[in-house]
Structure 1
Amino acid sequence: MAASPVVVQLAVAFVVLQAALGTNRQIVTGNPAAGSFLSVPTTVKRYENDTVLLPCYHNAPYRYVRWSRDDLLLVDSRYPDLRTPPRMRLWPNGSLEVTEVQTDDTGDYTCEIMTDGGKASQHHAIEVQFQATAAIYPEDPIDIRVGQILEAVCQVTGMPQPYVKWTMQVGHTMEPLALFNERKLNVLIEDRTFSGPLQCTATNGVGEPASAAVEVIVNFVPEIEVKSPTVHTRIGETGLLECLVTAHPAASIHWFHHGLPVVYDRRIVKLDTLVTKHQYYTVQRHQLAIRSLRDADLGQYECKAGNRVGIAGAQLELTGRPMVASFKPAAEMSSPTRHNFIWQTESHSPLIEYKLKFRRVPSGNVTPGRRTLPQQFAWKELIIPSDGSYGPLHSSGYTLEGLQPTSVYEVIVLSRNRYGWSDPSNILRFATGGEVEIEPGSEADTSSSSSVQTTETLEYSEPGDGDGGLIMDNMIPTDGFDYSMGWGNGHSVGGAIGMSPVAVSCLGLSVAFAIVEFFVGIKHLGDL
């Protein structure tokens, strides 16, 4: 069934009315001529304490006019006795004046008039612009653990609506958080550096930005720093173990020896010192002092710190073993088949002997790794007796002879006293002089010299036997300084430092190694 012309006309009229409402914000009932407003719908933006005049001009006389705000009646000309709100005044032409506008005056205002042609209305708005304000919730300091999610809300007011920015102290600087106008914050606390003020800032272009902050206190598992994990001492002296503990809340400290709690007495004393008391953490120095050391006091210790967040521990060793030896420049020049070594170590007990380990590095293998080497490239050991002096500084030397010219060697040294062997020294790498054949593609420069070639400093750990760590530069003296002063013992094959039965024995070993390498070389030539 087709729609009648009357229905179609009503539909068109409704569409026209909707368009009028959307564009002119005017409503007309009765005669369409009643909608002839001379004023236009207006949104007035003012600051506080300004005066606003909302127009309501019509081309026809009106019988009455009334104003409302957000559907709340303000004034009606038909009822002059009706109390007008403070700071508001109705003018004879129908306009409404609002003086000293406040934030409460913000809203939608409607002017409604009655004329002979019918009722008509027009809409206006007032936006009172004011400076932004900000507040953070929760307001109290926030206690939170590492690994938890921090939640906070920034409540803001202001007209226009403020833009919100979050910043947080990370370390010693305020870092912006990657949020874009978000009033709710969720951030993962990664470590203790997140302690500090959390701040939100609201900006709307009116006056100065507003900020609010709250303190964030991060609770974390104690952090232990040990500057000397191995403490060298000797029986009868005082041993001192130390660990530095950073924590919040403050940690309690316990010492363990071979897994058992240390029993304190007059001889074994625990010393605790407050180093730093910061707003967000404390740093304490904890020492274990053991007087008149006994053999039973030596061994592994553990400094264990705990608070309500967790427990952490650090291992320390109290030992009488010698310290790691270090190589020193030798005063005597080396040759293509011999190399001089001097080393120094520290031991609180007399040294018994040294172990000198050396090997030849295969050609082209500048950075040894996990590999299977022929016997001629395996580690060789020499035991060198000490002179038994008390030290604590001990120096010694040795000369390796029968070396292959134009070859690269590595050497390490260990020291032993009554408590055992020291850890291996850093690996010293040196090259014997002569014509060095460089393989194609090698980064080394071809050189011919009777001096020793310096090689680069590298670092690696030899698998299996745990020999050494850092590869040291080959050290060839140029100053002629006499390092023999104060030596505990010196050995030299060939009499550079002085022959002794021990040196003769070591000479025999060196010659034997040289003969073995000589015949291996001849056999290799025969195979060719």
Structure 2
Amino acid sequence: MSFKSIFLQAEEKEQSTEEKQKGDEVCEGRSTANNGFKSYPTTVKTFENDTVLLPCYVEDLDNVQTRVRWWRDGILLADSGEPRHVPPERVRMYSNRSLEVSQVRRNDTGEYVCQASRPAPWGHATQVHEIEVMYPPSVHPIPESGKLEVNLGEEVDMACVAKGVPVPIVSWRNKDGEIPFLYDRSRLRFHAESPSDAGRYTCVANNDVGEPATATIDLYVRYKPRIEMTKTWLHAPAGIRVQLHCGVTAWPEATVEWYFNNRSVKYSSRIVKHNAGSDHSLVIRNVRTTDYGFYLCRASNSLGITEAAVELSGIANPAVFKKTSSHSLSKTSYNFVWEVHSYNPIVQYEFRFRKYVNGVPGQWHKLYIPSGSDGNSFIHTYSFKLTGLEEATHYEALVLSKNRYGWSKPSEIIRFATEGAPDKDHYITNAIQEDKIEPAVQLASMSQHSPLDTSDSSESSFAQVKVITIITMIFILYIFNVNFCKL
């Protein structure tokens, strides 16, 4: 129990009636000094079921005929001059004019006025005491349902009404932790800028009396469907099982349908639609060549429609250069090793290269290379040596692969350099396959091939002319040697 001293002054006029003007007497008697009292105004902080004693010690009480009455909110609680007055339950006045309130309750909180009526020259005097019944906090949310829906971009406005003595301090938290404020407040306002703003918001009311009270509000952010495709292109041979994935998020929940070549997919025991949370997928068993094409994932709700496509194809995956195996063999040559994932045999490669001088790329040169693959592996690895390059020069290269279904997409560009080029080690980069399919079999043995230094007639180069000249000279020497031996 703690006390707070407040100095009051009392001045009242003589009153001819006692109970008729009781409310006015209470209000008019409050002042800043303690005239006429030995006791001092107090604020009693207590807990429920405690007993509180409020003093009212009037000066010269023993020698002067003084009448003491206690009031609260204009209601007479006790009267020393009226023995027949019955005080309210749990309230009684002692002979020394102190007032006892027992088993205090929350609604006992308030001001209690002791009023002393004395003959002249003393006159009337009042003294105000206060009881503050402390109790743990309680809180309820606004909206009371504990649910709030807004559209993406709209303002979120939620609140918590807290009660308790002392007045509780309100704080907020969500899935990311406590929400910082410059000051404590019961109202939370912000704009829903992202679907991730949705979730549960909890307000906590605490006044250090008992346990903190909490209330929750679940926020739902309405927005048009959003689609995330893990792969936009998928390699699959005839006869296997494939699964096309379409990640959909939306509120309200979206309806998802699949389309093939602009027509609704006809679901069957072979083509089945699946849904697991936000993952919507289309399973195709025993793929046929007629299944190749573009599949459209269409998601719709009351706010709109979103679409995304994925292609199912029999062409090979883009080639991937193996950086650890690719290296310079001499000042004018470079060895490349690449890897291709394809269920069907690779028929041919198209190798492209160009000079890269001072950050400016030159013209592409093409070489068409028979694969020599036996077609028994899903992983096709090829080693190729490019000769006739310029010394100390930077280059770029890429490769495409061809199987029975056509040419693949080009690999990512690899930058390389012949010996003596500046910063060669930092210049080489390895291509990263965009839609990589994990191999289902062991990596095939590397195929070793003789250097191929021919190109199509439309794009001949100095290096190719040089190689042809060397081969011609070797052939002439061979013929000469045979004829010489016959002699």
Q: Is 1:69 matched with 2:72? A: yes
Among candidates 310, 319, 324, match of residue 325 of structure 1: 319
- Deviations along 1:372-405, one digit per CA (max 9) or x if unpaired, are x5xxx32222222334753543333332222111
Specify the SS of the correspondent of 1:113: strand
Partner residue of 2:385? Answer: 399
Partner residue of 2:463? Answer: 511
Whether contact under 8 Å (1:402, 1:513) holds in the other structure is: no
Q: Is 1:26 matched with 2:10? A: yes
Partner residue of 1:301? Answer: 295
Matches within 5 A, 1:460-499: 485=445, 487=447, 490-493=449-452
Query: How far, CA to CA, are the matches of 1:321 and 1:455 in structure 2?
Result: 33
Query: How far, CA to CA, are the matches of 1:484 and 1:195 in structure 2?
Result: 50
Q: CA deviation at 1:35?
A: 4.3
Query: How far, CA to CA, are the matches of 2:456 and 2:67 in structure 1?
Result: 131
Let me know the Cα RMSD of the aligned residues.
Answer: 3.6
Whether contact under 8 Å (2:381, 2:445) holds in the other structure is: no
Partner residue of 1:271? Answer: 273
Q: CA deviation at 1:106?
A: 1.3
Whether contact under 8 Å (1:492, 1:503) holds in the other structure is: no
Partner residue of 2:162? Answer: 156
Q: CA deviation at 1:155?
A: 1.8
Matches within 5 A, 1:438-453: 444=423, 453=424
Whether contact under 8 Å (1:427, 1:469) holds in the other structure is: no
Specify the SS of the correspondent of 1:241: strand
Partner residue of 2:375? Answer: 390
Q: CA deviation at 1:177?
A: 4.6
Q: CA deviation at 1:159?
A: 1.4
Specify the SS of the correspondent of 2:330: coil
- Matched to 1:298, the amino acid is Y
Unpaired segments of 5 or more residues in structure 2?
Answer: 1-5, 16-28, 434-442, 468-487
Partner residue of 1:109? Answer: 112
Q: Is 1:361 matched with 2:363? A: no
Query: How far, CA to CA, are the matches of 1:219 and 1:332 in structure 2?
Result: 55
Among candidates 140, 147, 160, match of residue 135 of structure 1: 140
Q: Is 1:378 matched with 2:363? A: yes
- Matched to 1:386, the amino acid is S
- Deviations along 1:156-198, one digit per CA (max 9) or x if unpaired, are 221111111111224xxx3335363212222333444444432
Q: CA deviation at 1:230?
A: 1.0
Partner residue of 1:454? Answer: 425
Among candidates 254, 261, 264, match of residue 264 of structure 2: 261
Alpha carbons of 1:408 and 1:333: their partners in 2 closer, same or farther (altered >3 Å)? closer
Q: Which deviates more from structure 2 when the two are superposed, residues 251-260 or residues 99-108?
A: 251-260
Whether contact under 8 Å (1:103, 1:129) holds in the other structure is: yes
Partner residue of 1:121? Answer: 126
- Matched to 1:251, the amino acid is A
Among candidates 150, 160, 175, match of residue 169 of structure 1: 175
Alpha carbons of 1:48 and 1:292: their partners in 2 closer, same or farther (altered >3 Å)? closer
Whether contact under 8 Å (1:52, 1:99) holds in the other structure is: yes
Alpha carbons of 1:192 and 1:341: their partners in 2 closer, same or farther (altered >3 Å)? same
Query: How far, CA to CA, are the matches of 1:179 and 1:217 in structure 2?
Result: 26
Partner residue of 1:347? Answer: 342
Alpha carbons of 1:153 and 1:241: their partners in 2 closer, same or farther (altered >3 Å)? closer
Whether contact under 8 Å (2:70, 2:79) holds in the other structure is: yes
Query: How far, CA to CA, are the matches of 1:484 and 1:215 in structure 2?
Result: 55
Q: CA deviation at 1:98?
A: 1.7
Query: How far, CA to CA, are the matches of 1:254 and 1:385 in structure 2?
Result: 43
Query: How far, CA to CA, are the matches of 2:466 and 2:398 in structure 1?
Result: 19
Q: Is 1:40 matched with 2:40? A: yes
Whether contact under 8 Å (2:333, 2:389) holds in the other structure is: yes
Q: Is 1:336 matched with 2:331? A: yes
Whether contact under 8 Å (1:493, 1:506) holds in the other structure is: no
Whether contact under 8 Å (2:328, 2:419) holds in the other structure is: no
Alpha carbons of 1:416 and 1:378: their partners in 2 closer, same or farther (altered >3 Å)? same
Partner residue of 1:433? Answer: 419
- Matched to 2:340, the amino acid is T
- Matched to 1:63, the amino acid is T
Query: How far, CA to CA, are the matches of 2:293 and 2:168 in structure 1?
Result: 65
Query: How far, CA to CA, are the matches of 1:253 and 1:457 in structure 2?
Result: 44
Q: Is 1:88 matched with 2:73? A: no
Query: How far, CA to CA, are the matches of 1:484 and 1:161 in structure 2?
Result: 76
- Matched to 2:388, the amino acid is G
Q: State the identity %.
A: 33
Specify the SS of the correspondent of 1:26: coil
Query: How far, CA to CA, are the matches of 2:96 and 2:45 in structure 1?
Result: 22
Query: How far, CA to CA, are the matches of 1:223 and 1:190 in structure 2?
Result: 15
Q: Is 1:408 matched with 2:413? A: no
Q: Is 1:422 matched with 2:408? A: yes
Matches within 5 A, 1:148-227: 148-170=154-176, 174-178=177-181, 180-227=183-230
Alpha carbons of 1:38 and 1:108: their partners in 2 closer, same or farther (altered >3 Å)? same
Specify the SS of the correspondent of 1:454: helix
Query: How far, CA to CA, are the matches of 1:299 and 1:397 in structure 2?
Result: 32
Alpha carbons of 1:457 and 1:28: their partners in 2 closer, same or farther (altered >3 Å)? farther
Specify the SS of the correspondent of 2:211: coil
Specify the SS of the correspondent of 2:294: strand
Specify the SS of the correspondent of 2:392: coil
Query: How far, CA to CA, are the matches of 1:39 and 1:346 in structure 2?
Result: 97
Query: How far, CA to CA, are the matches of 1:454 and 1:510 in structure 2?
Result: 27
Q: CA deviation at 1:421?
A: 2.1
Q: CA deviation at 1:143?
A: 4.7
Specify the SS of the correspondent of 1:29: coil
- Matched to 1:342, the amino acid is V
- Deviations along 1:78-125, one digit per CA (max 9) or x if unpaired, are 322121011211222322222222222211121112212222222222
Specify the SS of the correspondent of 1:314: strand
Partner residue of 2:481? Answer: none
Alpha carbons of 1:99 and 1:512: their partners in 2 closer, same or farther (altered >3 Å)? same
Query: How far, CA to CA, are the matches of 1:217 and 1:332 in structure 2?
Result: 56
